[in-house]
Amino acid sequence: MSADRRDFLVRLMQGATLASTGGLGWAYLLRQEARAQPFALRPPGALPGDDFNAACIKCGQCVVACPFDTLKLEPAGGNLPIGMPFFEPRQIPCYLCPTIPCMKACPTGALSPKLKDINDSRMGLAVIDTENCLSWKGLRCEICHRECPIKGKAITLETHPRQISKHAMFIPVVHSNACTGCGICVRACPTTEPAIRILPHALIQGKIGDHYRLGWTREDSITQEFDASGAAPTISAPTNAPSGPVKGKATDYLNEGL
Amino acid sequence: MSHPAPSGLAARLWQWRYILLRRVSQFIILLLFFGTVHWGWEVAKDVPLLSGNLSGSKFIGLIPMADPFAALQIFLAGHVLQTEAILGAAIVLGFYILVGGRVFCAWACPVNPVTDLAGWLRTRFDIRPTFILPRNTRYFVLVLTLILSVLTGVAAFEWVSPVGMMHREIIFGLGFGAAVLLAIFLFDLFILKHGWCGHLCPLGAFWSVVGKVNPTLRVRFDKTTCTHCGECAKVCPEPQVLNLKLLEEKGFVFSGECSNCGRCTPVCPENSLVFDFKPLIRAHNAQAQGSVSVSETQRRV
C-alpha cells in the first residue's frame, strides 16, 4: 500500500470517527429534546407527536396570530421541545376561535389545514381529580360544566341523590368524543390547584381492545361462534351436528347430551 | 501607498459605512419581527407587518418567507411541506442567489454582531488561537445536519441552532439560548478566531454553497493597483477568500464564503477592492489593464 493511499485511508477514518461521535452526541441531544413532547399542549390541528416534531419550523407565526396570547414558543432549555408552540390553560386557555387563525398562519402544515371545525380539534383531554373536585365532595360547584364551550357534550352533569337533608351530588363527567382540550375549564376551576386538568390523550386514555364485547350494547345474541382471527363475528344458524368445532348457541352446547 | 488616517467623525463614519449599514440592517430585521409581536405593528387591521422569525415569516400578510435550509431539513425529516413554506423558501433562496448567499450571514443573522464583537476584541487584545480547525469543517457539519435529519426525524440543526435560539428568544421570550450565545462568544474570543461563523455553522456553509452562483454583487479586485499590502486580509473574517493569486485570475472575490460584508473595501489604501455589479467587473478590469499597458508603452517610448 502506498504511503499516499495509507495516509488517505487514515484521514478518512479520522474524519468518519469525528463525524460519527459528534453525530452521536448531537443525535442524543435531539432525542432528549424530542422526548419532552408528550407533555406539550399544542395549538389546534397539531399533527400527532413525532409528525409535529418533524414538521414545525418554529417560526412562531401561530403565536403572532393568536388573538388571546394563548400560545407561546418554548425557549431553549425549557421542559418542552425547543421552539415549540404550546399553551398553559391555567394561564390562558384556547378560546376556540371559529376561524382558527393559528392554524391558518402555519406555513408548513404542522397545524393541519384538515381541521375545518374548531370543535373537532383535540388538543388534549380534560381529566378530573375526583379527590379534590368540589362537586365530587358534595358542594354545588359545576363551574367547569357551565364554562365549557361545548357543555352538555364535552362535560355533562350526573346527579347522584343522597340521603334526606343533603342535596344531590352534581358530578361533572368529561366525554372524550367532544372535549377539545381547550382548557377553559382549567382556567375556571376555583380550587387552589385546578382539580380539572388537560392532558395529552396518550398519557391518560386506555384502550379496551377488540376482544371485549359489551353484550348489553348489542342486538344479536351474546355468544356466537368465536373467531380467533379477529374477524367480525357472524351469526350462523345453530347446527345439530356436534362434529368439529362446536358451533351454535351456548344453551344448545351446554344442554348437549342431556 | 500610505494609509490615509481617518480624521474627524464624518471620515470615521465613512470608513465604517458598511459595518454601520450591516448593524442597521440586522437591527431593523429584528425590530420588525419584535414590533409585530410586542407592539402589534400592522399595515391594516389584522394584517401583521412581519410575522414570525427568520425560520419562517410572512411580510404584510402577503409574502411568505422561509429559511430554505430549515425547509430542506424538514423535508428530509419526512414531512412534505405545505405550498406556503415551499414558496417562502423559494423566495428567500432566490433573493440570496441574486445578492450572494452569505449576505444573510453579514447582513441579517443576529449572531453576527456577537461573533463580530468577539473577533474585534480578539484582534484588539491579540489573543492567540488554542487550536486550528480547517475552515471546511462547516461543510461536514452541513452534511451531518442533513444525515441526522433523516435519521432522527427532526430538523437536526433547527433543534440546536444558536441562530434560531437567539432570534426566537429575542422575539418570543428569553431562555437558555442566551447561555448558548455566551458560549459562542467565549469560544470565538478565547478558543478559535471566527470559530463559529467561519468554521462550524452549517447555515453559513449552506449559504456558502448557494453563494457560489452570485450573479450580481461582488467585490471587484483590481490587480493593476493592488500592492499586496495585506490590509484587507487582516480585517476579513474569511481571509482565505482573499487569495490574491486567484483573485488576479478572476478579477473579483469569487468564493461563496465571502459574505459581502464590505470590511475590505474601506481599508484598501489603493481602492483595489470595491463593490461592483458583477457583469460590469470584467469590462472594468480589462479597461484598467488596457490603460496600464498603454501607460507602460508610453513610458517605454
The string of DSSP letters for A152-177 reads: TTSEEEEEE--STTSPPEEEEEE-TT
Give me the mean pLDDT over the B241-260 stretch: 89
pLDDT of residue B2: 46
Task: Give yes or no for B43 touching A (CB within 8 A).
Answer: no
Task: Give yes or no for A59 touching B (CB within 8 A).
Answer: yes
User: What does each C-alpha distance from B258 to A88, B162, B199, B265, B268 come to in angstroms?
Assistant: 45, 21, 13, 13, 16
pLDDT of residue B172: 87
Q: Do B81 and A106 make contact, defined as CB atoms within 8 angstroms?
A: no
How far is A224 from B259, CA to CA, in rounded Å? 76
Give me the mean pLDDT over the B108-114 stretch: 94
Residue-wise pLDDT tens digits, B184-208: 999 999 999 899 999 999 999 999 9
* Segment among A154-163, B4-13, B276-285 with least mean pLDDT: B4-13
Cβ contacts (< 8 Å) between B82 and chain A: which residues? 106-109, 113
CB A202 within 8 A of CB A38: yes
Report ipTM (2 d.p.): 0.85
Phi and psi at B285, nearest 5°, equal -65, -40
Tell me the CATH number for domain A38-120: 3.30.70
pLDDT of residue A71: 94
User: What does each C-alpha distance from B268 to A69, B169, B231, B282 come to in angstroms?
Assistant: 51, 38, 6, 20
* Segment among A76-85, B3-12, B245-254 with least mean pLDDT: B3-12
Spell out the domain ranges in chain A.
38-120, 124-206
Task: Give yes or no for A22 touching B (CB within 8 A).
Answer: yes
Task: Give yes or no for B179 touching A (CB within 8 A).
Answer: yes
Q: Do B155 and A105 make contact, defined as CB atoms within 8 angstroms?
A: no
Cell numbers representing residue A181 in the block: 382540550
**What are the residue ranges of helices labelled H in chain B?**
8-15, 17-38, 68-76, 83-99, 103-107, 111-125, 137-152, 162-172, 177-186, 195, 202-211, 231-235, 244-250, 264-267, 278-300
Whether pLDDT at B4 is above 60: no
Q: Predicted confidence band at B1 (pLDDT cuts at 50, 70, 90)?
A: very low
Spell out the domain ranges in chain B.
8-210, 217-300
Whether pLDDT at B6 is above 60: no
Mutation to test the B interface, candidates A12, A28, A30, A50, most B Cβ within 10 Å: A30
Q: Which residue among A15, A57, A75 sits closest to B55, beta carbon to beta carbon?
A: A57
Q: Specify the CATH architecture of the domain A124-206.
A: 2-Layer Sandwich (3.30)
Task: Give yes or no for B263 touching A (CB within 8 A).
Answer: no
Top pLDDT among A155 and B7 is at A155
Each residue's pLDDT tens digit in chain A (258 positions)? 678 899 999 988 988 898 889 999 999 988 888 887 777 899 999 998 889 989 999 999 999 999 999 999 988 888 888 889 999 999 999 999 999 999 999 999 999 999 999 999 999 999 999 999 999 998 999 999 999 999 899 999 999 988 888 889 999 999 999 999 999 999 999 999 999 999 999 889 999 988 887 878 777 665 555 555 555 555 555 555 444 454 555 555 566 666
CB A186 within 8 A of CB A194: yes
Phi and psi at A89, nearest 5°, equal -60, -30
Residue-wise pLDDT tens digits, B14-47: 888 999 999 999 999 999 999 998 898 988 888 8
CA distance B26 to chain A (A): 18
Cβ contacts (< 8 Å) between B167 and chain A: which residues? none
Q: Which residue among A22, A30, A77 sits closest to B154, beta carbon to beta carbon?
A: A30
pLDDT of residue B294: 58
* CA nearest to B49 within chain A: A64
